[in-house]
Amino acid sequence: MKYARKMGIKLRQTYERVAKEAMIMQQRYSHARQMKRAARETKKLKTFLGRIIREIRRKSTEDIPIELENLLQLGERLFNQNKDDKGKLYSIHEPMVECIAKGKIHKKYEFGCKVSVATTSRDNWVIGIKAHHGNPYDGHTLNDILLQSEKMVGNSIREVFCDRGYRGHDYKGDAIIHIAGTKHNLSRTLRKWTRRRSAIEPVIGHLKSDNRMNRNYLKGIIGDNINALLCGCGANIRKLIAAFFLPLSFLQVLFKKYSSNFYFKLITSFCFL
């Protein structure tokens, strides 16, 4: 409506006030589990949207600008979609957002895109991170993330340890792929590195909570890839800061606490000689 008004298209009715009220009531009814009343408000909103789209189409007799045409196509896509359709539109300003089923009780679904993360088995340095659109199967993302990791490191990867979500992967390189929990009678070394695979889970958690991968404020597919790369860089920088500056901050705390202690002064002066 705002863009149509900017283009000089005068609408008979904008439904701004009644649509806002209907949206609020739909949310309230859904929260109270009054689904028939919520469906009635949803039907109202859909009616308002259809009327505005048809009126803009009628009154824009000249060539429609690309921006307005894109908005009208998104509106028609939203108007025509049903509950059980695939590839539904969840966000107007980010049309490529997908619904990802997690299968967990506390959070059944997430909305966004999948991100693959590759870390070193020994010290959990992030060596590869890549966003994938289209909600692909996890095994079909392995080839891309390993190619990116080899470019980042500048060396070939010999062995890869994955979880069972990567069964049936599409990787065709020289690295040996180990799927955790699928083979028995492994050697002692392989058992050790297979158990180390689960160490990537807290890395992913810290990427989401501490490095802003939980919510992306950059627009488009390029913005998703940039945000993922920046999150991986931030995680590595945090490890470097902790390695170099944490001992200094610990000594600073000790100095503040025991600065009046004669023996502490004696020991620290001996250590810094």
SS3 per-residue string spanning the chain: CHHHHHCCCCCCCCCHHHHHHHHHHHHHHHHCCCHHHHHHHHHHHHHHHHHHHHHHHHHCCCCCCHHHHHHHHHHHHHHHCCCCCCCCCCCCCCCCCEEEECCCCCCCEEEECEEEEEECCCCCCEEEEEEECCCCCHHHHHHHHHHHHHHHHCCCCCEEEECHHHCCCCCCCCCEEEECCCCCCCCHHHHHHHHHHHHHHHHHHHHHHCCCCCCCCCCHHHHHHHHHHHHHHHHHHHHHHHHHHHHHHHHHHHHHHHCCCHHHHHHHHHHCC
pLDDT confidence of residue 87: 82
User: Which residues have a Cβ under 8 Å from the Cβ of 271 and sit 6 or more positions away?
Assistant: none
For residue 21, give both structure tokens. 């009220």
Contact present, 232 and 126 (Cβ < 8 Å): yes
Q: Which residue shows structure tokens 């860089």?
A: 233
For residue 134, give both structure tokens. 């289209």
**Domain coordinates in residue numbering, the chain:** 2-80, 109-235
Quote the crossing angle between the two packed helices 262-271 and 220-258, to the nearest 10°. Answer: 120
The share of the chain scoring above pLDDT 90, in percent, equals 39
For residue 156, give both structure tokens. 């070939």
Task: With a cut of 80, say whether residue 121 has pLDDT above it.
Answer: yes
Q: For the chain, how long is the longest CA-to-CA vector?
A: 89
- The model's pLDDT over 149-198, given as tens digits with 9 standing for 90+, comes to 999 989 899 999 998 889 988 888 888 999 988 888 888 888 888 889 99
- The model's pLDDT over 40-64, given as tens digits with 9 standing for 90+, comes to 999 999 999 999 999 988 888 677 7
Reference 124, options 236, 210, 226; nearest CA is: 236
Task: With a cut of 90, say whether residue 36 has pLDDT above it.
Answer: yes
Task: With a cut of 60, say whether residue 270 has pLDDT above it.
Answer: no
Sorting pLDDT into bands at 50, 70 and 90, what band is 140?
A: very high
Q: Which of 107-121, 203-217, 219-233, 237-251 has the lowest mean pLDDT?
A: 237-251
What would the mean pLDDT of 116-135 be, rounded to a whole number? 92
* CA quadruple 51, 57, 61, 65: dihedral sign: positive
For residue 9, give both structure tokens. 């298209």
Report the DSSP beta bridge partners of residue 118. Answer: 128
From CA 233, how far away is CA 220, in angstroms rounded? 20
Average pLDDT, the chain: 86
pTM for the full predicted model: 0.76
pLDDT confidence of residue 249: 65
Sorting pLDDT into bands at 50, 70 and 90, what band is 25?
A: very high
For residue 36, give both structure tokens. 């028939």
pLDDT confidence of residue 262: 54
Report the DSSP beta bridge partners of residue 129. Answer: 117
Q: Which residue shows structure tokens 């009715």?
A: 13
pLDDT confidence of residue 272: 46
Pick the more confident residue, 223 or 244: 223
